[in-house]
Amino acid sequence: MLPYWGKNRTFLAATSTLPMPTPLTISTDVKSQYFAQYLEVYTKNKALTQAEKEVSVWWADDPSTTFTPPGHSYNLGRIAVKTSGATLGKAAEALARTGIAVADAFVMCWKCKYTFNNERPYTYVRRAIDPNWIPFWPSPPFPGYSSGHATQSAASAIVLADLFGDQFPFTDDTHVGRARDVARNTDFKARSFKSFWETAEESALSRFLGGIHTRQDNDTGLHEGRKIGQYINALQWKK
């Protein structure tokens, strides 16, 4: 579960000095913001549409069956390179920036996770709302705040947008060809996007829909990932 991953050296010194935003104060008061965050996850999870299930499964990127979230980000970089007909130099820079983005994002995200040890929705909901609740997607056994999916997706989206443009329509075919998820009655259909940031937002949303993360987990991840991507974009690259 990598409790010490946050102590790894980051590629960028600026990344390691980012302050970690403090999560909401833990509370079981039904009128508290904290309670509202988890109630929202529980309520939505009980009424998922088929389209929302497809979003959740598409971005799950389970490490036991896929090339994981960083692999998904790399594939988006590959799609951008092929779609744009990028030169070899630009392709190399795109993949290098993406690699730095996902690496630094996960170091800082895991530092945040094991600093605050914030609980996942399934533990809070079961003790404060519904003891029999089972989330749509199985929750990883490490702290929730902040979201790794949101942080790394945002960082990689920012670097790719800097290279290929804020508006870059493309189709994500990462999981096309995979066998149907029978347990969740869901197929893997290609997804189209108008920008890289749209993929980051949907990646983050997928974890909320899966019942794995609260809004604060995702919002913080997107915010911090954006900063990391901007630091990478400020590097001077030799041509």
pTM for this model (two decimals) = 0.97
What is the pLDDT averaged over residues 217-230? 98
Element (H or E) spanning 170, and its range? strand 170-172
Checking if the pLDDT of 180 tops 80, the result is: yes
CB contact at 8 A, 38 and 216: no
Joined together, the tokens standing for residue 103 give 């690496």
Joined together, the tokens standing for residue 217 give 């987990």
Phi, psi of 131 (to 5 degrees): -65, -10
Confidence band for 224, pLDDT divided at 50, 70 and 90: very high
Tens of pLDDT, residue by residue over 117-173, are 999 999 999 999 999 999 999 999 999 999 999 999 999 999 999 999 999 999 999
Domains and CATH numbers, the chain: 27-233 (1.10.606.20)
Alpha carbon distance 52, 65 (integer Å)? 21
Checking if the pLDDT of 197 tops 90, the result is: yes
pLDDT of residue 80: 98
How far, in Å, are 121, 131, 213 from residue 159 at the CA level?
Answer: 31, 42, 24
pLDDT of residue 237: 85
**Phi and psi based region of residue 185 (left: phi greater than 0; alpha: psi -120 to 50; beta: remaining):** left
